[in-house]
C-alpha cells in the first residue's frame, strides 16, 4: 500500500471511530448516569434515522428535518422516561433488559407498520454534496468530513457541559455506581466542591441524603471522613460495607 | 320490519349451513399448500411478494390447483434458521400440507429441505439461492423456482471476459451466498481469460465500505464485481459514487445489487449494469399480462420475487395436472414437474435434473429507477449442480 492510501485509510478509521463515538456516547450516558441498561439503543438510533427520512421527505431539506427532529426526539424520550424508564431506576438490570428488549420488538413492528419494509435513503443536502479529489481516482466525500466535524463539536460540547457547568455537576452528582448506589467519593467530592456551594440545591440535598444513608448503612464514619481528606477515595479499603441485599433498596 | 329481519336471519343461517355442508364435502378434495415465508423482519417485503405471486396464479387458475380448491397453512419463518426445522415439521406433520413453499433465507431453506427429504414431502423453493440446495443436497422432493447463486454471477463473468475486461477486484459480505456469487463469477471470468486481482470480504451485514473503496482506488482494477443486496447494496452504490470511483472504475454485480432499492440510492445507481433472470421492460405478452394483473390486484408493481412465487404455483399446477389432480400420487407429480415447460413472465424455462430452472440470464441497465433489459447474455443457463446424484 502506498503512502497516500495509508493516509486515506487513517482518515477513514478516524472518521468511523468518531461516528461510533457519537452513537456510543448516548448509550454510555444513559447507562452511566441513569443506571439503565438500554438494549433498545439501536432502536432509538433507528427512530432517529427514520425521523430524518420522514421529515426530509415532508420538508424537502435535511437541515429542516434535523431542526424539527431534535425537539421531536426529545419529546419522545421524555415520554418514554415518564411512562416506562422512571419505574425502572430502582429495579435491577435484568428487568431493565426485559423492558428494553421488549421495546426493540415493539419499535421494529411499529416501523414496519408505519413506514413499510422498503429500503429508504436520505439525500445528502446540496451544500455537502461534493467531493475532494485525493488521488487520481479516489476522492473523499465532503459529507463524511462534515459528519466528523459534527462529532468533534459534540464531543467537546459534551465534555464542557459535564465537566464545567452547573448542569454537568448535577449530572455527576446523580451518577450512581453499578449497584444503583451513589459513589460516596463522588458525593463527598461534590459536597466539598467550591462551586457546589453556589447552590445546586436539589443535587446537594440528594447528595446529603445519600451520604447520611451511607453512614446509617454501616460505612464507618472514619472511613468517610478519611475519604473527605483524601478527596477522591480511590483505594479499595474505602468501599462502605454493605450487605448484598441492600443493593436492591432504593 | 321485524319479519324482514327474521327472514334475513333465516337466509343467513341457511346460507351458512349450505356453505358448511359444501366445505365439509370438499375438505378431502382440497390441496393444502404450506407457505413458510418471512412476513416480519428484513425480508418481509420479499415474503409478501412471493405470497402475492403464488396467490395470483391460483386466482388466475380459477382459485384452484390441479382442479382442486386450495387451502393455505401459513407460517412466518422470521428468516430464523434456529426455528426453521420446528416450523417446517409443524406444517408437515400437524397441518399435513401437500407441498411446502419456502423460503427466502438460504439457511432456513436448507433446514426446510432436510425436513422435506426426511418426510418425503414435496417442496418448492421460491427464492433461496444457496447452490447446495440443488447441488450436493439435492433431492427428488425439492424443487426451485428461482435461481442458484451461481447462475447470475457466472453469466456476468462470461459477459465481462467477452467484453475484454482483464483485471477485476471483488467485494462481498462474508457469508455463503456472497462467496458462492463471487466463486461463480470467478469461474467464468478466469475461464474467459480474465484475472481476479483481489477478493475482499466484510462481515454480514456491515456497511462501512470506505476502507474497501480506498483499497480499490489504490489497486485500480478495470472493473469491480460485488454482491450486496437491499439496504447494504444501496449504501455501497452510493458510497462508490461519492468516492468518485463510478466514473473511473465500472461496477458490476448480480441483479440483487439494484433490485428494490433504487429509490434509496438517489441517482447513484444510474447506468449500473447487472445480471439476473428477470428484468424490467421485457416485451413478452406473458410478462405484460402478469404485471398488469399484479398491479391491479395488489396496487404495487411486481418484482422478481413475485415472479418466483407465481412460478412456484405454476410448477405445482403442472405436476398436479400430470397426476390427474391428485396430490397423493407423488411420483406422478414429481415426474410432471420435472418435464414441465413453465411459461414464466421471465421467459419460458425448464427444470434441470437437479430441479433448478434452466433459464435465460439478462444483462440489465439502471435507467431512471428501472432495471431495463439490454440483452440476453446467457441463453438457457443451467446450474452445474456439482455433487448432485439425481
B143 and B218: one domain? Answer: no
B12 and B140: one domain? Answer: yes
Residue A32, pLDDT score:
80
User: Residue B123 above 70 pLDDT?
Assistant: yes
Among A108, A123, A139, beta carbon nearest to B243: A139
Residue B351, pLDDT score:
97
How far does the CA of residue B70 sit from the closest CA of chain A (Å)? 28
Q: B263 touching A, CB under 8 A?
A: yes
Among B44, B245, B263, beta carbon nearest to A137: B245
User: Which residue's entry shows cell 441463453?
Assistant: B379
A137·B230 Cβ contact <8 A? no
Q: Residue B29 is part of a domain; what is its CATH number?
A: 3.40.50.2300
Q: Check residues B27 and B49 and name the one with the higher pLDDT.
A: B49
B161 and B123: one domain? Answer: no
Residues of chain A with pLDDT under 70: 1, 174-250
Residue B257 — pLDDT band, cuts 50, 70, 90? very high
B111 and B173: one domain? Answer: no
Residue A205, pLDDT score:
61
Contact map slice: A 144-173 vs B, CB within 8 A: 144
How far does the CA of residue B46 sit from the closest CA of chain A (Å)? 9
Q: A109 touching B, CB under 8 A?
A: yes
What would the mean pLDDT of B168-194 be, rounded to a whole number?
Answer: 95
Instruction: Give the count of beta carbons closer than 10 Å to the beta carbon of residue A30.
Output: 18
Q: A245 touching B, CB under 8 A?
A: no
Contact present, B350 and B336 (Cβ < 8 Å): no
B123 and B190: one domain? Answer: no
List the single residue in A with minimal CA-CA distance to B220.
A137
Residue B149 — pLDDT band, cuts 50, 70, 90? very high
B137 and B165: one domain? Answer: no
Query: Which residues of A fall within a CB distance of 8 Å from B249?
Result: 137
User: Residue B18 above 60 pLDDT?
Assistant: no
Residue B141, pLDDT score:
96
Q: A131 touching B, CB under 8 A?
A: yes
What would the mean pLDDT of B32-57 be, rounded to a whole number?
Answer: 92
Q: With pLDDT > 70 as the criterion, what percentage of chain B qualifies?
A: 93
How far does the CA of residue A137 sit from the closest CA of chain B (Å)? 6
Residue B15, pLDDT score:
52
B41 and B88: one domain? Answer: yes
Structure-block grid coordinates of residue B2:
321485524
Angle between helix A166-173 and A184-192 (nearest 10): 150
Per the domain annotation, does B364 fall within a domain?
no
List the single residue in A with minimal CA-CA distance to B266.
A123
Residue A174, pLDDT score:
66
How far does the CA of residue B274 sit from the closest CA of chain A (Å)? 19
Q: A10 touching B, CB under 8 A?
A: no
Domain boundaries along the sequence of chain A: 14-150, 165-233
The backbone torsions φ and ψ at residue B202, rounded to the nearest 5 degrees and listed phi first, read: -135, 155
B74 and B132: one domain? Answer: yes
What would the mean pLDDT of B344-364 be, rounded to a whole number?
Answer: 97
Query: Which residues of A fall within a CB distance of 8 Å from B231?
Result: 119
Q: Which domain holds residue B245?
A: 150-276
Please tell me the total count of domains within chain B.
2
Residue A1, pLDDT score:
65
Structure-block grid coordinates of residue B154:
457466472
User: Which residue's entry shows cell 416506562?
Assistant: A84
CA–CA separation, B378 and B390 (whole Å): 24
A5·B249 Cβ contact <8 A? no
Can the peptide bond before residue B103 be classed as cis, meaning omega within 30 degrees of 0?
yes
B313 and B229: one domain? Answer: no
Q: How far is CA A17 from CA A22, A85, B228, in A?
A: 9, 29, 24
Instruction: Give the count of beta carbons closer than 10 Å to the beta carbon of residue A248.
Output: 11
Residue A78, pLDDT score:
94
User: Which residue's entry shows cell 463539536?
Assistant: A153
Of the candidates B125, B148, B116, the one whose C-alpha atom is nearest the C-alpha of residue B135 is: B148
Domain boundary among B276, B302, B335: B276
Q: How far is CA A249 from CA A89, A214, A239, A243, B327, in A?
A: 11, 12, 17, 11, 65
Contact present, B321 and B336 (Cβ < 8 Å): yes
What would the mean pLDDT of B337-347 be, rounded to a whole number?
Answer: 96
Residue B195, pLDDT score:
97
Domain boundary among B255, B276, B297: B276
Q: B243 touching A, CB under 8 A?
A: yes
Among B211, B217, B234, beta carbon nearest to A119: B234
End-to-end CA distance of chain B: 71
B136 and B70: one domain? Answer: yes
A142: Cβ contacts below 8 Å, ≥ 6 apart: A128, A129, A130, A131, A132
Among A108, A119, A135, beta carbon nearest to B231: A119
The answer to whether the Cα torsion of A147, A149, A153, A159 is positive or negative is positive
B115: Cβ contacts below 8 Å, ≥ 6 apart: B85, B88, B89, B92, B100, B121
Per the domain annotation, does B272 fall within a domain?
yes
3-state secondary structure chain B: CHHHHHHHHHHHHHHHHHHHHHHHHHHHHCEEEEEEECCCCCCHHHHHHHHHHHHHHHHHCCCEECCEEEEEEEEECCCCHHHHHHHHHHHHHHCCCCEEECCCCHHHHHHHHHHHHHHCCEEEECCCCCHHHHCCCCCCCEEECCCCCHHHHHHHHHHHHHHCCCEEEEEEECCHHHHHHHHHHHHHHHHCCCEEEEEEEECCCCCCCHHHHHHHHHHCCCEEEEECCHHHHHHHHHHHHHCCCCCCCCEEEEHHHHCCCHHHHCCCCCCCEEEECCCECCCCHHHHHHHHHHHHHHCCCCCHHHHHHHHHHHHHHHHHHHCCCCCCCHHHHHHHHHCCCECCCCCCEEECCCCCEEEEEEEEEEECCEEEEEEEEEEEECCCCCCCCC
Residue B21 — pLDDT band, cuts 50, 70, 90? very low
Query: Which residues of A fall within a CB distance of 8 Å from B248?
Result: 137
User: Residue B9 above 70 pLDDT?
Assistant: no
Contact present, B68 and B29 (Cβ < 8 Å): yes
Q: A126 touching B, CB under 8 A?
A: no
Residue A222, pLDDT score:
45
Residue A162, pLDDT score:
86
Residue A7, pLDDT score:
92
What would the mean pLDDT of B57-83 be, rounded to a whole number?
Answer: 94
What would the mean pLDDT of B376-387 be, rounded to a whole number?
Answer: 95
List the single residue in B with minimal CA-CA distance to A120.
B264
Residue A218, pLDDT score:
55
Interface pTM (ipTM) of the complex? Answer: 0.72
Residue B317, pLDDT score:
97
A138·B245 Cβ contact <8 A? yes
Among B242, B265, B266, beta carbon nearest to A141: B242
Per the domain annotation, does B380 fall within a domain?
no
Q: How far is CA B280 from CA A1, B297, B312, B363, in A?
A: 42, 19, 20, 11
Q: pTM for the whole thing?
A: 0.79
B249·A137 Cβ contact <8 A? yes
How far does the CA of residue B37 sit from the closest CA of chain A (Å)? 15
- Average pLDDT across chain B, whole number: 91
Residue A80, pLDDT score:
93
3-state secondary structure of A109: helix
Contact present, A223 and A240 (Cβ < 8 Å): yes
**Interface with B, mutate which of A121, A126, A133, A140 (most B CBs under 10 A):** A121
Query: Which residues of B fall within a CB distance of 8 Å from A125?
Result: none
Query: Which residues of A fall within a CB distance of 8 Å from B215?
Result: 5
B212 and B168: one domain? Answer: yes
How far does the CA of residue B136 sit from the closest CA of chain A (Å)? 34
Query: Which residues of B fall within a CB distance of 8 Å from A123?
Result: 266
A123·B234 Cβ contact <8 A? no
3-state secondary structure A16-31: HHHHHHHHHHHHHHHH
B232 and B346: one domain? Answer: no
Per the domain annotation, does B12 fall within a domain?
yes
CA–CA separation, A243 and A238 (whole Å): 15
Amino acid at each position: 500500500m502506498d503512502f497516500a492510501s495509508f493516509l486515506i485509510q487513517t482518515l477513514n478509521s478516524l472518521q468511523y471511530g468518531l461516528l461510533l463515538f457519537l452513537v456510543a456516547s448516548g448509550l454510555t450516558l444513559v447507562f452511566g448516569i441513569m443506571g439503565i441498561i438500554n438494549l433498545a439503543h439501536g432502536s432509538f438510533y433507528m427512530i432517529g434515522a427514520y425521523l430524518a427520512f420522514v421529515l426530509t421527505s415532508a420538508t424537502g431539506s435535511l437541515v429542516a428535518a434535523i431542526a424539527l427532529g431534535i425537539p421531536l426526539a426529545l419529546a419522545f424520550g421524555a415520554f418514554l422516561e415518564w411512562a416506562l424508564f422512571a419505574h425502572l431506576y430502582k429495579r435491577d438490570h435484568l428487568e431493565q433488559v426485559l423492558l428494553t428488549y421488549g421495546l426493540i420488538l415493539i419499535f421494529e413492528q411499529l416501523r414496519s407498520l408505519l413506514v413499510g419494509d422498503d429500503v429508504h435513503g436520505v439525500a445528502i443536502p446540496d451544500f455537502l454534496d461534493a467531493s475532494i479529489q485525493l488521488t487520481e481516482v479516489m476522492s473523499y466525500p465532503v459529507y463524511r468530513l462534515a459528519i466528523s466535524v459534527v462529532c468533534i463539536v459534540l464531543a467537546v460540547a459534551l465534555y464542557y457541559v459535564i465537566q464545567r457547568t452547573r448542569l454537568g455537576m448535577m449530572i455527576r452528582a446523580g451518577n450512581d455506581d453499578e449497584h444503583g448506589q451513589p459513589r460516596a467519593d463522588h458525593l463527598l467530592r461534590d459536597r466539598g466542591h467550591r462551586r457546589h456551594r453556589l447552590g445546586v440545591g436539589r443535587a446537594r440535598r440528594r447528595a446529603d441524603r445519600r451520604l447520611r444513608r451511607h453512614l446509617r448503612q454501616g460505612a464507618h464514619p472514619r472511613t468517610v471522613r478519611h475519604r473527605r481528606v483524601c478527596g477522591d477515595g480511590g483505594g479499595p479499603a474505602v468501599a462502605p460495607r454493605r450487605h448484598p441485599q441492600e443493593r436492591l433498596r432504593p | 320490519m321485524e319479519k324482514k329481519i327474521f327472514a334475513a336471519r333465516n337466509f343467513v343461517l341457511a346460507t351458512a349451513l349450505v356453505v358448511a355442508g359444501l366445505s365439509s364435502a370438499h375438505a378431502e378434495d382440497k390441496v393444502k399448500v404450506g407457505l413458510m415465508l418471512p412476513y416480519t423482519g428484513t425480508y418481509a417485503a420479499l415474503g409478501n411478494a412471493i405470497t402475492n405471486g403464488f396467490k395470483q396464479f391460483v386466482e388466475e387458475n380459477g382459485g384452484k390447483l390441479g382442479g382442486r380448491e386450495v387451502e393455505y397453512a401459513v407460517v412466518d419463518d422470521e428468516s430464523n434458521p434456529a426455528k426453521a426445522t420446528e416450523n417446517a415439521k409443524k406444517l408437515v406433520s400437524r397441518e399435513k400440507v401437500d407441498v411446502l413453499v419456502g423460503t427466502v433465507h438460504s439457511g432456513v431453506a436448507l433446514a426446510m429441505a432436510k425436513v422435506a427429504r426426511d418426510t418425503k414431502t414435496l417442496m418448492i423453493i421460491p427464492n433461496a439461492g444457496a447452490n447446495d440446495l440443488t447441488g450436493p443436497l439435492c433431492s427428488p422432493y425439492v424443487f426451485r423456482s428461482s435461481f442458484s447463486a451461481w447462475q447470475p454471477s457466472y453469466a456476468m463473468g462470461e459477459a465481462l471476459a467477452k467484453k475484454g475486461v482483464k483485471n477485476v477486484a471483488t467485494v462481498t459480505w462474508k457469508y455463503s451466498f456472497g462467496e458462492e456469487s463471487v466463486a461463480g463469477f470467478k469461474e467464468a471470468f478466469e475461464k474467459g481469460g480474465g484475472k481476479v486481482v483481489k477478493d475482499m470480504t466484510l462481515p454480514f451485514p456491515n456497511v462501512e465500505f470506505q476502507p474497501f473503496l480506498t483499497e480499490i482506488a489504490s489497486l485500480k482494477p478495470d472493473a469491480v464485481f460485488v454482491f450486496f443486496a437491499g439496504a447494504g447494496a444501496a449504501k455501497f452504490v452510493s458510497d462508490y459514487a461519492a468516492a468518485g470511483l463510478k466514473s473511473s472504475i465500472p461496477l458490476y454485480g448480480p441483479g440483487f445489487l439494484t433490485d428494490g432499492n433504487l429509490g434509496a440510492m438517489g441517482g447513484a445507481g444510474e447506468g449500473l449494469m447487472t445480471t439476473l433472470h428477470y428484468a424490467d421492460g421485457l416485451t413478452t405478452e406473458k410478462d405484460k399480462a402478469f404485471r398488469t394483473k399484479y398491479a391491479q390486484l395488489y396496487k404495487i408493481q411486481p418484482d422478481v420475487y413475485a415472479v418466483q412465487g407465481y412460478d412456484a404455483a405454476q410448477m405445482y399446477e403442472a405436476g398436479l395436472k400430470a397426476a390427474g389432480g391428485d396430490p397423493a400420487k407423488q411420483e406422478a407429480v414429481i415426474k410432471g414437474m420435472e418435464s414441465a415447460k413453465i411459461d414464466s413472465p421471465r421467459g419460458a424455462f425448464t427444470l434441470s435434473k437437479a430441479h433448478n430452472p434452466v433459464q435465460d440470464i439478462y444483462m440489465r441497465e439502471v435507467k431512471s429507477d428501472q432495471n431495463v433489459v439490454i440483452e440476453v447474455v446467457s441463453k438457457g443457463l443451467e446450474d452445474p449442480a456439482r455433487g448432485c446424484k439425481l
